[in-house]
A and B are shown apart, each in its own frame.
Chain A
């Protein structure tokens, strides 16, 4: 079990970053975004497109070679483009829906449709093959009491730094306060002088950049697939719910726990030979916790009237 701890920490931070992004978006806009997974995949696919070596066998649209750019620069570009993508979704799709007072359930269905549509665009663009970033193989090393490659250890550190930064921004800046205000009441934020449309736009950009980053992390540690975001989307939802819907800090911890639980359960004695079932244990634990704490680990009970 303990030899899975390193993998657990890695999956934990990936789910955690993605869950914060999802939770933030839900908190501010009340949108349950099923297309979140596709923004995750976008981060990875764009990074592959920018950084893959020009003469590699990877072809986009069966024709175009990758651009062979520096990996870090590629990743930064990809994250920025994910932010732009999220911003465009808000401007061209979700803002008009909001203007026309389209209900939450209808918007949810729109995100499901969007998810399927975008995912299959990826299938066309990046093919259904499993691809890898152009990074050399590394040997695992021991850090404290867990094993991982130096590169994955770097991912872990960067993810933690990113999450601390996100926490600081949400807690201490005017932007973070304005996001919390819009979450509580859009109208009230308006009469307090906050442009809620702008805050919602920024939230989309911010959430999508985080999602793209999570996708890049996931692809560094594992691989790039057209449906990679969709595959971990349910774990992200689970993490968000486990932490307490609408609390960013809860989503961080909930997402992390889910990720760690999924990987650690691989080492359970009865799991031998049934590794594909690893999600089952983690999600069963999630259901158990919610039975006893319906509001999630960090959610607060609220006064009804």
Chain B
């Protein structure tokens, strides 16, 4: 058994005549923190949509944990243990912070229609355990004091934290973060960055799309560079920093 947790082969997706993604082979290893960078329109988010099931690919195969997950529905992929976030932060507006976590944390088989009325001891234990987990995560992310606030009342930064909390409550194998630092102030960005690092050290495999190059260079084990839908380079931060192709296609065109 190889160390490849996620494997993408010959993946392609076009919109009209535009090739959004065209990748021959790309693998992600267990316990690594990989960042995907590339200029706007490089196909980073489309790539995320494809591997998380939100869009169907035109061709190609995606394997997760040795299982083929190409073009299967997003909720199934989430249940397999690959959880994503979105560029525009999404939270359940009409639920409190705690309810957000409890909802995302409850596994389907343990929360049946009948059980929620009958409330047998196994159900109570399960709920208790879930609640403990939710409080632990909130404590870790410093949002415990907002447990009973409605998510719609949170600020943008707080929603980012809630989104992270919700993503990790089920101990996913893989976390796909779509621009986790976009639109947050520098202090919170620092906080989120160290959190991501901590999650990575706890053994969660993280794949992150991010425009903040400094941050990416600082925390990534490995960087994947996309341009116009194709893979143009991969390697550790120092390799990427000195890669001519990358400088041409990406760093050169940006005012960093």
Give me the interface of A with B, judged by CB distance under 8 Å. 172-175, 177, 180-181, 183-185, 187-197, 302-303, 305
Known contacts A173-B116, A177-B103, then 17 further A-B pairs from the complex at CB < 8 Å, ordered by chain A residue: A174-B113, A184-B91, A187-B86, A188-B86, A188-B90, A188-B92, A189-B75, A190-B73, A190-B75, A191-B84, A192-B75, A192-B104, A193-B107, A194-B108, A195-B76, A303-B152, A303-B153
A-contact bits for B120-154, CB 8 A (1 contact / 0 none) = 00000000000000000000000000000000110
User: For chains A and B in complex, what number of residue pairs have CB atoms within 8 angstroms?
Assistant: 75
Known A173-B116, A191-B52, A196-B75; contact A184-B83, beta-carbon cutoff 8 A: no
Q: How far is the CA of A181 from the CA of B106 in the complex (A)?
A: 13
Chain B residues lying within 8 Å of A302, measured Cβ to Cβ, are 93, 152
Please provide the chain B residues from 187 to 219 with a CB less than 8 Å away from any CB of chain A in the complex: none
Chain B residues lying within 8 Å of A181, measured Cβ to Cβ, are 92, 95, 103
Is A174 a contact of B90 with CB atoms below 8 Å? Answer: no
Of chain B, the residue at the smallest CB distance from A197 is B73
Is A185 a contact of B92 with CB atoms below 8 Å? Answer: yes
For residue B111, CB closer than 8 A to chain A, the reply is yes
Please provide the chain B residues from 77 to 117 with a CB less than 8 Å away from any CB of chain A in the complex: 78-79, 83-84, 86, 90-95, 103-104, 106-108, 111-113, 116-117
Chain B residues lying within 8 Å of A193, measured Cβ to Cβ, are 75, 78-79, 104, 107-108
CB distance from B229 to the nearest CB of A (A): 22
Chain A residues lying within 8 Å of B153, measured Cβ to Cβ, are 303
CB distance from B77 to the nearest CB of A (A): 8
Chain A residues lying within 8 Å of B108, measured Cβ to Cβ, are 174, 193-194
For residue B156, CB closer than 8 A to chain A, the reply is yes
Please provide the chain B residues from 43 to 82 with a CB less than 8 Å away from any CB of chain A in the complex: 52-54, 73-76, 78-79
Chain B residues lying within 8 Å of A174, measured Cβ to Cβ, are 106, 108, 111-113, 116
Of chain A, the residue at the smallest CB distance from B114 is A173
Q: How far is the CA of A194 from the CA of B79 in the complex (A)?
A: 9
Chain A residues lying within 8 Å of B91, measured Cβ to Cβ, are 184-185, 188
Chain B residues lying within 8 Å of A195, measured Cβ to Cβ, are 73, 75-76
* Interface pairs A-B: 5 shortest CB-CB: A190-B74, A192-B104, A184-B92, A188-B90, A174-B111
Of chain B, the residue at the smallest CB distance from A184 is B92
Our pick among B75, B84, B90 for the contact of A185 (Cβ within 8 Å) is B90
24 contacts between A and B (CB under 8 A): A174-B111, A174-B112, A174-B116, A175-B113, A180-B92, A184-B92, A185-B93, A187-B74, A187-B86, A188-B91, A189-B75, A190-B53, A190-B54, A191-B52, A191-B74, A191-B83, A191-B84, A191-B104, A192-B78, A192-B166, A193-B78, A193-B104, A196-B75, A305-B156
CB distance from A13 to the nearest CB of B (A): 24
Q: How far is the CA of A177 from the CA of B99 in the complex (A)?
A: 10
CB distance from A106 to the nearest CB of B (A): 21
CB distance from A151 to the nearest CB of B (A): 31
CB distance from A221 to the nearest CB of B (A): 31
Known A173-B113, A302-B93; contact A187-B79, beta-carbon cutoff 8 A: no
Of chain B, the residue at the smallest CB distance from A246 is B94
Q: How far is the CA of A289 from the CA of B111 in the complex (A)?
A: 40
Of chain A, the residue at the smallest CB distance from B53 is A190
Known A174-B116, A303-B153; contact A190-B94, beta-carbon cutoff 8 A: no
Chain A residues lying within 8 Å of B90, measured Cβ to Cβ, are 185, 187-188
CB distance from B49 to the nearest CB of A (A): 10
Chain A residues lying within 8 Å of B152, measured Cβ to Cβ, are 302-303
Q: How far is the CA of A74 from the CA of B71 in the complex (A)?
A: 44
Of chain B, the residue at the smallest CB distance from A182 is B92
Chain A residues lying within 8 Å of B94, measured Cβ to Cβ, are 180, 183-184
Is B111 a contact of A190 with CB atoms below 8 Å? Answer: no
Q: How far is the CA of A193 from the CA of B74 in the complex (A)?
A: 8
Q: How far is the CA of A175 from the CA of B113 in the complex (A)?
A: 7
Q: How far is the CA of A172 from the CA of B99 in the complex (A)?
A: 12
